[in-house]
Chain A
Amino acid sequence: MELFDSARKRLEKQYEHVVYDPESGLDEQGIQTLFEAHCRENPGEEHVLTKAFLLHLVCTKARIAPEPDNYFAGKVDPCASLFQKLRWKWVDELWPKEFSDHSVPGDQKMFVIDMEHSIGYMIDTSHTSPDWMAILKLGFPGLRDRAAKGSTALHRAAVMVYDGAIELCRRLGKASGNEALLALAERPPQTLREAFQLAYLFHDLQEIEGEEVRTMGWFDRLYIDFYRRDLKAGRLTRESAEELIQYFWIAFYAKWQGTRFGKNFCFGPEINELSYLGMEVYHKMNTVDPKLSVRVTPDTPQDFLELAAKNIRDGRNGIVFLNNDVVIQGLVRHGRTREDAENFIPIGCYEPAVLGKEISTSGATHLYLPAILLQELRNGKEYPTFEAFKHAYFEMMEEDVLLLRKQQCRCEKLWSEVNPSPFLAGSFAHCMETGRDISQGGVEYNSTGCVISFFAEAVDSLAAVEFLVYQEKLCTLPELRKALAADWNGWEKLRMIARNRAPKWGNNDERADRIGREIAEFVSPLVNRQENARGGHFFASLYGQSVVERGKQIGALPDGRKAGTPVSKNMDACIPMDKNGITSLMNSVLKLDFSAFPCGTCLDLMLHPSAVRGEEGIEVLTAIIRAFIAAGGSGLQFNIFDAETLRDAQRHPEKYTNLQVRVCGWNVRFTDLRPEEQNTFIAQAENIA
């Protein structure tokens, strides 16, 4: 096989203009004709079987592309629009019936943002992980045989799709002369190459079926035995394994060209020789995809942490660090057994869930904290004290959360009819025991994530109300309402006092941090005790995302923010309100109890490149990580650049094709961002100069 370095350009483009062999099968039109015939002949068929039929059809009959010059062949015409149409047909049938009470604003379906009530809810088809352990242990034939033991519609559907996958392995294997694929049609993987091939193909087929794969599992732990066996048998050397990893990883980049959330590979907590190799290869590749996460403990070897820090220092910022012990503590505190909790994996960006036993839908619901404050202010009531004002805020929050629960439960009831997933469900032992799909509570832990969003704006706004109205008495509540209604126009002096004199989250200022703690301590149990429609619970996470888009939907706030401007991300301070540097920001953040947010949290640290230069810079980075973890912090990620570089990149994107920025839980090329998104990074970078 061609060496990766010389093949890289071609591999990066492997999904552009895929040339399907017209002799190898049907095009989308042909598949559609067969599928429509099936639907006509089987009216009233259970949706899970219809879906399975379509996936089976694609695997066995759709055109494929031979790839003799890639270790990992796998291109089948996904017939994406057929799956899309099928899903939306079901949504259009069922959604209006379920939500006939007009409780959904506008004509939103599947994904709803109701900013009037400060909530968002959706059928989350974007945050899953299959059971990678079972997949690698059983292979397609084993998964098929396990499914064949049951007789429910789900079982039959699973048998159908795995039969399809086996046939696809044969077709692709023959067309590409790929022995690994031919072997996978017969048995579980035995070599590292077969294991990677299986993982890649499984991921691809699951996404064709319609549930996004948001983690590829533990890189070191899942693959170490394959690696060691191959080394021992002389099938691989460290160098040839490096080639294999690069061919494997680049496929994830190639599919979306680094413009989507990407796929996460997790490292640790047990560090083995594959952990080191992977981290070295990541530095060498310098790619925006895949993303990595590291489960850090006090025992994480320093040389491994330094390797990770070196990646960060050198702009490979697709790495998030998670506090292993705090995450486990949070999961145990919220209903998982200790043994299960130790098998956690970050799904999506940094949202922990138990691998092989949990469907966490970590992006399903959102609670927009600052919008709740605006709801409260809209009611026009007077409050004699700040305590009373705060109390009303929490009451409003409770009302919103109850509405959120109600709406989300209705979404979840539709899930199994709208997007049944036999291919994914078949990987879970529990789904196969119960005959229930992942959308029907088929796994052990069926959670609903609730992203508690824009914490900093909420803290700063409450702190500003206290400061302006109740402490300094610079304005009354009605005056503040007027100022906000006018988007602060005509109230510039008051706005500047709110911005530059009122206490702010992220400065180790107890006046603000105390309010932050109170919000966190109120919202976490409130959310975590809500039951969902799948026999599980809501689980709170604490981070802000989509900061430009959501910012546009949130009006002027008491902290001096103008309507429509970007909001803060993750656990960060409002831009540019962390005026005391990153240690103070961390000190504020560390006042919260992160085990109360079992569905994940993350702090973004932005550092100037001069702070992390050289070997000393690596030591600074590892010290930050160690200190943050030791003090009970949880998720941590970095952005390292200076404002001048970013401005230059805005002007001359061609010079900065490799410049990565960490957006929220994922990293992209800076030049792929829209100008307004770029500007938020520049504003943040200016603050650290």
Chain B
Amino acid sequence: MKTEGFMVEWKRFAVHDGPGIRTTLFLKGCPLACVWCHNPESVRREPELGFRKNKCVLCGACAGVCPRHCHSFAGNEHRIDRSECIACGKCVSACLYDALVLYGQPISAEEAANRILEDRIFYEYSNGGATVSGGEPLLQAEFCAELFRILKKEGISCAVDTCGNVPWEAFERVLPLTDLFLYDFKEIDSRKHREFTGAPNERILENLTRLSECGVPIEIRMPLIPEYNLSDPDLIGAGTFLSRRKNITAVRLLAYHSLARSKYETVGHADTMPSVPAPSAQDMEHAERILSGFGLNIINTAKTEQNGKKEKWKNPNAIEKDGTGSGR
């Protein structure tokens, strides 16, 4: 039987989901419910209807095809009764203005692999590849493993972007096929972690500890949210924990922003995003300094110029020239 995944969307030319140019597949369903989540449409496991109000021209085509009469129009307002919606997608096909979108569609591993392979030349020249993200991709570990098996045969580098809150067995399924883990680290204090994400962090930390013994490179990703996880004790606690784990290639600091707020309205969820400003450049540098003090390789994405620590591109066909090389 073919393994099917349940996806939200594709992102091609993804340059922030691991090294190089990548294609990211966002899978649906997450065991956490972080208040600051930037992908609220990927949290629930069931399909959901998205509505982009600004694209709607009130043509009523959706109401004409909806079997449950969810769409209604009162004056200049298009209302959706989500309690009745079964996310059948009929209105999405009928909407010619792309105002309606269906989050959550099945995809086979083969189909996903073919989509990813379309851009293989860009992975080759950028040391990029494929990333599964979400949501929590390891809730669909079997699908990820199947997808990676196909991609590995084609020589494509594979990365998993995980929150870590899954049974260890899920990691074991993808471990032999994964080149890089992007591992979220949100908060060291379990009580606060539960408050912000809906779950304690013991399993997340334990999985990270086990994973760090497996020899696969791990890039830690820390979203930094003022008033939530940006205090000195938060950072020192994180630094202490992370500095004792092996195979951590880098810790990437991601400055919180609220640009995703409109997505909550689109998918019809209550807006939980913190009403705090983005961390300042000084906040970010402060965090960078504290964490660097633990000997960690920090990538501060708020800076325009970062330190390039990567191996440079080499022309495989180049003939060594006698010393004059670059001419400088």
| Residues of chain A at the chain B interface (Cβ within 8 Å) | 271-273, 275-276, 298-299, 301-304, 493, 496-497, 500-501, 508, 580-584, 586-587, 610-617, 619-620, 622-624, 626-627, 630-631
B314, A611: Cβ atoms closer than 8 Å: no
Distance between A679 CB and nearest chain B CB, rounded to angstroms:
18
The 7 closest A-B pairs by CB, nearest first: A623-B126, A615-B308, A496-B96, A627-B125, A581-B12, A273-B327, A614-B306
Which residues of B308-324 have CB atoms within 8 Å of chain A's CB atoms? 308, 310, 312-315, 317-318
Q: Which of B13-21, B38-46, B204-212 contacts its partner?
A: B13-21
A273, A583, A584, most chain B CB atoms within 10 A:
A583
Task: Please tell me if the beta carbons of A627 and B126 are within 8 angstroms of each other in the complex.
Answer: yes
Chain A residues contacting B314 (CB-CB under 8 Å) are 302
Q: Is the CB of B121 within 8 A of A631?
A: yes
**A626:B96 contact, CB within 8 angstroms:** no
Whether A583 and B12, one on each chain, are in contact in the complex, defined by CB atoms closer than 8 angstroms, is yes
Decide if B125 touches A508 in the complex (CB within 8 Å): no
| Contact with A619, one of B12, B20, B303, B315 (Cβ below 8 angstroms) | B20
Which residues does chain B contribute within 8 Å of A581, judged by CB atoms?
Answer: 11-13
Question: Does B294 sit at the interface, judged by CB under 8 A?
Answer: no
Contact B121 A303 (CB under 8 A): no
In angstroms, Cα B121 to Cα A627, docked, is: 6
Residue B98 lies at the interface, judged by CB distance under 8 Å to chain A? yes
Q: List 12 A-B contacts (CB under 8 A).
A: A276-B328, A581-B13, A583-B118, A584-B12, A610-B16, A614-B303, A615-B305, A616-B308, A616-B310, A623-B125, A624-B125, A630-B121
Docked complex Cα distance between A304 and B128 (Å): 22
Q: A276 CA to B324 CA in the complex, in Å?
A: 13
Please give me the residue from chain B that is nearest to A689 by CB atom. Answer: B259
List, in ascending order, chain B residues with CB within 8 A of A631's CB. 121
| Contact flags B136-176 to A (C-beta < 8 A → 1, else 0) | 00000000000000000000000000000000000000000
Q: How far is the CA of A662 from the CA of B308 in the complex (A)?
A: 28
Decide yes or no: A583 and B328 within 8 Å by CB, A500-B98, A614-B306 being known contacts: no
Name the B residues within 8 Å of A496 (CB-CB): 96-97
Please tell me if B307 contacts chain A, counting CB pairs below 8 Å.
yes
Residues of chain A with a CB closer than 8 A to B121's CB: 627, 630-631
User: How many Å lie between the Cα of A302 and that of B304 in the bound state?
Assistant: 21
Chain A residues with CB under 8 Å of B307's CB are: 615
Cross-interface CB contact of A583 among B13, B301, B326, cutoff 8 Å: B13
Rounded to whole Å, the gap between the CB of A643 and the closest CB of chain B is: 13
Contact assessment for B96 and A497 in the assembled complex, using a CB-CB cutoff below 8 Å: yes
**Chain A residues with CB under 8 A of B15:** 611-612, 616-617, 620
Majority SS at the chain A contact face: helix
Could you tell me if A624 and B326 are in contact, using CB atoms closer than 8 angstroms? no
Complex interface: chain A residues within 8 A of B124 (CB): 627
Whether, in the assembled complex, B75 has its beta carbon less than 8 Å from a beta carbon of chain A, the answer is no
7 further A-B contacts with Cβ under 8 Å, apart from A302-B313, A614-B304, A615-B308, are A276-B328, A299-B318, A304-B326, A584-B119, A613-B301, A613-B304, A626-B125
Q: Which of B103-128 contact A (CB under 8 A)?
A: 118-119, 121-122, 124-128
Known: A611-B13, A627-B126. A301 touches B325 (CB 8 A): yes
Contacts of A500 in B (CB 8 A): 96-98
A630 contacts B125, C-beta separation under 8 Å:
yes
A615: chain B residues within 8 A (beta carbon): 305-308
Residue of B nearest to A605 (CB): B13
Check A624–B327 contact: CB distance below 8 A.
Answer: no
**Is A275 in contact with B327, judged by CB distance below 8 angstroms?**
yes
User: Taking the nearest CB of chain A, how far is it from the CB of B255, in angstroms?
Assistant: 12
| Complex: A583 Cα to B12 Cα, angstroms | 7
List residues of chain B with CB within 8 A of the CB of A614: 303-306
Provided the pairs A493-B96, A614-B305 are in contact, do residues A302 and B315 lie with their beta carbons within 8 angstroms? yes
The CA-CA distance from A303 to B328 in the complex, in Å, is: 11
Contact between B328 and A508, CB atoms less than 8 A apart: no
Judging by beta carbons under 8 Å apart, are A587 and B304 in contact?
A: no
Q: Is the interface of B mostly helix, strand, loop or mixed?
A: loop
With a cutoff of 8 Å between Cβ atoms, the chain A residues found around residue B306 in the complex are 614-616
Whether B118 contacts A587 by the Cβ 8 Å rule is: yes
Closest to A496 in B: B96
Residues of A within 8 A of B97 (CB): 496, 500
Size of the chain B interface, CB-CB below 8 angstroms: 38
Q: Which of B119, B304, B310, B313 is close to A626, meaning CB atoms less than 8 Å apart?
A: B313
Rounded to whole Å, the gap between the CB of A362 and the closest CB of chain B is: 30
In this complex, which of A276, A298, A620 has the most chain B Cβ atoms within 10 angstroms of its Cβ? A620
A620 CA to B128 CA, complexed, in Å: 10
Q: Which residues of A contact B303 (CB under 8 A)?
A: 614
Give the complex CA separation of A522 and B15 in angstroms.
38
**Interface pair B125/A276, CB less than 8 Å apart:** no
Nearest CB in chain A to that of B313: its residue: A302
Contacts of B13 in A (CB 8 A): 581-583, 611
Asked if A620 meets B96 with Cβ closer than 8 Å, knowing A273-B327, A303-B326, A584-B118, the reply is no
Residue of A whose beta carbon sits closest to that of B325:
A301
In the bound assembly, the distance between CA atoms of A622 and B315 in angstroms comes to 12
Interface contact B327-A587, CB-CB below 8 Å: no
Q: Are A302 and B12 in contact (CB under 8 A)?
A: no
B residues in contact with A617, CB < 8 Å: 15
Chain B residue numbers with a CB within 8 Å of A610 are 16
Q: Which residues of the partner chain A approach B328 to less than 8 Å between Cβ atoms?
A: 273, 276
**Inter-chain contact A627/B315, CB cutoff 8 Å:** no
Least CB distance, B267 to chain A, in whole angstroms: 19
Chain A positions within 8 Å of B127 at CB level: 623
Q: Which residues between 197 and 215 of chain B lie within 8 Å of chain A, taking CB atoms?
A: none
**Chain B contacts for A273, CB-based, 8 A:** 327-328
- Smallest CB gap from A625: residue in B: B125
- Residues of B177-226 at the interface with A, using a CB-CB cut-off of 8 Å, are none
Closest CB-CB distance, B258 to chain A, in whole Å?
15
Contacts of B12 in A (CB 8 A): 580-581, 583-584
A276 near B326: Cβ-Cβ < 8 Å: yes
Q: How far is the CA of A623 from the CA of B21 in the complex (A)?
A: 8
Task: Give the residues in chain A near B118, CB-CB below 8 Å.
Answer: 508, 583-584, 587
Assess the A620–B327 pair: CB atoms within 8 A.
Answer: no
A301 and B328 alpha carbons, distance in the complex (Å):
12
B16: which A residues are within 8 A, CB to CB?
610
Residues from chain B with a CB closer than 8 A to the CB of A271 are 326-327
The CB with the most chain B CB atoms within 10 A, among A508, A586, A615, A617, is that of A615
Indicate if the CB atoms of A619 and B96 lie closer than 8 Å. no
Question: Bound complex: CA of A493 vs CA of B303, how far in Å?
Answer: 47
A619:B326 contact, CB within 8 angstroms: no
Partner of A501 from the list B96, B125, B325 (CB cut-off 8 Å) is B96
B262 to chain A, nearest CB (A): 12
What's the minimum C-beta distance from A552 to chain B, rounded to whole angstroms?
26
| Minimal beta-carbon separation of B259 from chain A (angstroms) | 10
Contacts of B326 in A (CB 8 A): 271, 276, 301, 303-304
Q: Which residue of A lies closest to B319 (CB)?
A: A299
State in angstroms the CA–CA spacing of A271 and B324 once bound together. Answer: 11
**Chain B residues, Cβ within 8 Å of A624:** 21, 122, 125-126
What separation, in Å, do the CA atoms of A302 and B316 have in the docked complex?
12
Q: Which residues of B contact A582 (CB under 8 A)?
A: 13
Distance (Å) between the CB of B325 and the closest chain A CB?
Answer: 7
Report the Cα distance A213→B317, complex, angstroms.
38
User: Which A residues touch B327, using CB under 8 A?
Assistant: 271-273, 275-276
Q: What chain A residues lie within 8 Å of B96 (beta carbons)?
A: 493, 496-497, 500-501
Do A622 and B313 have beta carbons less than 8 Å apart?
Answer: yes
A498 CB to nearest chain B CB (Å): 10
A620:B126 contact, CB within 8 angstroms: yes
Q: Which of A586, A610, A619, A620 has the most CB of B within 10 A?
A: A619
A655–B6 Cα gap in the complex (Å)? 47
Closest to A305 in B: B313
- Which residues of the other chain, B, contact A508 by a CB distance below 8 angstroms? 118
Q: How distant is the Cα of A302 from the Cα of B311 in the complex, in angstroms?
A: 12
